[in-house]
Amino acid sequence: MTDFTKEYKPIAEKFALSGEVTDICLYGEGHINVTMLVTTDKKRYIMQKINTRVFPDTDALMRNICYVTEFLSSQGVETLNVIKTKDGAAYLKGKDCYRVYDFIENTVTYQTVTDKEVFKNSGKAFGEFQNYLAAFNASLLSETIARFHDTPKRFGDFKAALAADSMGRAKECGKEIDFILSRADTYSAVAEGLKDGSLPLRVTHNDTKLNNILMDADTHKARAVIDLDTIMPGSMLYDFGDSIRFGASTAAEDEKDLDKVHFSVEYFKAYAEGYVGAVKNSITEKEAELLPYGAYLMTMECGMRFLADYLSGDTYFATKYEGHNLVRCRTQLKLAGEMEQKFGETKKIIADILAK
């Protein structure tokens, strides 16, 4: 038994698991929680140390997840299954907080798009997920992270991190800072649309990157949308945009060689066919018109969040080396720059899909 297993076994044993714990190891590529694979002699589980700096109100977080997963399973939709503690609680509360889910077997997660069809399938699944949530009572949900995708607010946070420059790192990233500052007038269209009612407020996932969906290992169709920490009222443009940000790239989110990083119009089209096909009956004219912009906005927003975290000393996103957040920021800005150049093409793609 590894030291890691020995360290976490007493925690795992606080949950109502089936069988004896035989192994625990780190798992997956998430940036927020510490995710572990727990194996017993009967089955496998996912155990997560919840990032309480990002989610200080763990009661509200787990209440949201229980409501949403119970609602989805009552509709016959495969979703995360929360394993309670032996005391019957939804999670283990203490200095550190932990939760356990059934491991969803025979599935894979992709860190980059290698196949258009798989990306299209994920678009269809996120679109369908949006449709299921349309019937969910939004008033049950707490806002787990306030103003999560309020891009003007994120821009304000970025400017504050820049003004503080607490690590003295701003001098290394002049080009990136200028790129973000020079686009200040492009960040408010969705926030304003939600405020004036011209864009509908929906219940959205808000973190729709490709590794937050489990695809069936045999059919490559989507099995379950996971990482439900940020389900909150929001705009459909956030969900569409964030998937494109991550998946319609020819390289990983943290690729260092920017020559390899391009916005793929082909991947955009594949995802849009899946997603827009699924939400055709509910998408408004203005939402459809803004989909290409939503992708640009989510990419810029993520770029400024990575850079703000780099400037502040990497306290938010998990990093594997110094400069990781700056590398991530650079890929986002490269993609957003190319998206700007391709608005003509991407708008036409959306119009063609809707006309079909």
Q: Are 287 and 200 in contact (CB under 8 A)?
A: yes
Cβ closest to ligand ADP, residue 226 vs residue 304: 226
CB 335, min distance to ligand GN1, A: 13
Q: What track of x and - describes contact with ligand GN1 for positions 198 through 217 (by CB under 6 A)?
A: ---------x-x--x-----
Alpha-carbon distance 109 to 322, whole Å? 26
- Confirm if 202 and 233 have CB atoms less than 8 A apart: yes
- Which of 48, 79, 151, 230 contacts ligand GN1 by CB under 6 A? 230
185: CB partners within 8 A, 6+ apart: none
Q: Which is nearer to ligand ADP, 66 or 258 (CB)?
A: 66
| Residue with smaller CB distance to Mg ion, 213 or 251 | 213
Contact residues toward Mg ion (CB under 5 A) are 30, 212, 227
Q: Six-digit token pair at 214?
A: 């489990």
Q: Is 120 in the site for ligand GN1 (CB under 6 A)?
A: no
If you search the block for the tokens 């998946």, which residue do you land on? 247
Q: How far is the CB of 87 from ligand GN1 (least distance, A)?
A: 27
Q: What is the DSSP string of 163-182?
A: HH-TTS-GGG-HHHHHHHHT
* 54, interface contact from ligand ADP, Mg ion, ligand GN1, none, CB < 5-8 Å by kind: ligand GN1
Sole residue written with tokens 């150049």: 341
Query: Which of ligand GN1, Mg ion, ligand ADP, none sits in contact with 104, Cβ below 5 to 8 A by type?
Result: ligand ADP
Q: Should residue 32 be labelled a site residue for ligand GN1 when binding is judged by CB under 6 A?
A: yes
Q: What gap in Å lies between CA 164 and CA 161, rounded to an integer?
A: 5
Q: If binding is defined by CB under 6 A, does position 113 make contact with ligand GN1?
A: no
Please, what sign has the CA dihedral across residues 5, 11, 15, 19? positive
CA gap 335, 263 in Å, rounded:
5
Q: Give min distance, CB of 6 to ligand GN1, in A.
A: 27
For ligand GN1, the binding residues (CB under 6 A) are 30-32, 54, 207, 209, 212, 227, 229-230, 242, 253, 302
